[in-house]
Structure 1
Amino acid sequence: MWDDSAIEVRDALDRLPEGDAELIRLIYWDGLRSHEVAKVLGINPSTVRSRLSRAKEQLRGSLENRRAIVSSTQVYEPRPSDVSLPAHRTDQRRDPSAES
């Protein structure tokens, strides 16, 4: 089962350019080293490292932006101690069938 953090990471990864997302997946999901990724993608290992650095920075920024948006739009949910019922409300309710 995916937790909220995993879903956020997946969504942020989906917003990366496809090549950068593929690079992240190869390294972190498939466990390949940079020289192995270089062979798979047909690029220089130094290019892998620089693209990885850029992709991680973009991913980090995307996740920080998402967290800032979520925290600024959270709905206030009152605690039970914050809520007081009006004086006329009680737990005893009248039974309409008892009234005639």
Structure 2
Amino acid sequence: MYQWRVDHVRAAEAAEDVRLSDEQALRASLDGDVQAFGVLVERYQEVAFRAAYLVTRDAGAAEDVCQEAFLRAHGHLGRFRLGEPFRPWLLRIVTNQAKNHVRSRGRREGLLARLRPRAAEVASGPEREVEAAERKEQVLEAMNRLSLEDREVLYLRHFLDLPEREIAEVIGKRPGTVKSRLSRARGRLRTVIEERYPALAAEEMGMTDA
């Protein structure tokens, strides 16, 4: 179903032969036995997928969520309290991952929806705004020469007017990272504008300023 299963299915089948209980498999996993964790993956992958699908309503997304959830569970086994049920702990990780996926998807879809009206406003503006629209078009053409990461932060900051803290939530980065990415993106945009649109570069372009 997903990569963890592909990587560990043989090991899981071998370990399953000894009929490990959850606690035995967990103790062995904590001791570094990958085969033992494969038993848990095989045992709970179906219920994990169902839980993820109920939240995401998308089979492909649910598989991705489960893959990440099992990886996270394996990486955080040290936080699990032996003696407690494993399934609820695992499903909490799965559902949290699924909700994060849905929130992220919703933000991105919302951003696209918010971008469309802005484009329509530029296209239907009065004649006295044509010159400004042409300048904006040149800026957009310059931005298209930047990397996707640079374009993303510039769009969010200067087209949607999002503050740095909100941008950090949208792209899943720390505010300090957003600030540095914006600074670098503005610098690269300024370089492109100066090289390709010298007349535009002579004007005061807020998008290339901090």
Give the ranges of 4+ consecutive aligned residues of structure 1 lying more than 2 Å apart after TM superposition: 1-4
Per-residue CA shift, 1:21-51, capped at 9, x if unaligned? 0110011111110010000100010000000
Residue type matched to 1:58 in 2?
R
Name the structure 2 match of 1:17: 147
Name the structure where helix makes up a greater proportion of residues: 2
Instruction: Give the structure with higher Rg (CA).
Output: 1
Match of 1:6 in 2: 136
Task: List per-residue Cα deviations over 1:39-96 (Å, max 9, x = no partner).
Answer: 010001000000000000000010000135xxxxxxxxxxxxxxxxxxxxxxxxxxxx
Q: Residue 26 of structure 1 corresponds to which residue in structure 2? A: 156
1:8 positional shift: 1.3
Higher relative contact order (CA 8 A, sep 6+): 1
Residue matched to 2:181: 51
Coordinate RMSD, CA, aligned: 1.7
2:168 aligned partner: 38
- Matched residue count: 69
1:7 and 1:29 map into 2 onto residues whose CA distance is: 13
Aligned to 1:91: none
Q: CA separation in 2, counterparts of 1:49 and 1:37? A: 10
The 3-state SS of whatever aligns with 1:15 is: coil
Structure-2 residue corresponding to 1:79: none
Structure 1 residue runs of 5 or longer lacking an equivalent are 69-100
Percent identity of equivalent pairs? 37
Q: Find the aligned partners of 1:67 and 1:20 in 2 and give their Cα distance.
A: 19
Give yes or no for the alignment of 1:61 onto 2:191: yes
Letter in 2 for 1:38: A
- SS state of the match for residue 146, structure 2? coil
What TM-score do you get using the length of structure 1 for normalisation? 0.63
- CA distance in structure 2 between the aligned counterparts of 1:4 and 1:26, rounded to whole angstroms: 21
Q: Which sections of structure 2, spanning at least 5 residues, go unmatched?
A: 1-122, 124-129, 199-210
CA drift of 1:4 comes to: 3.1
Instruction: After TM superposition, give the deviation of residue 20 of structure 1 in Å.
Output: 1.1
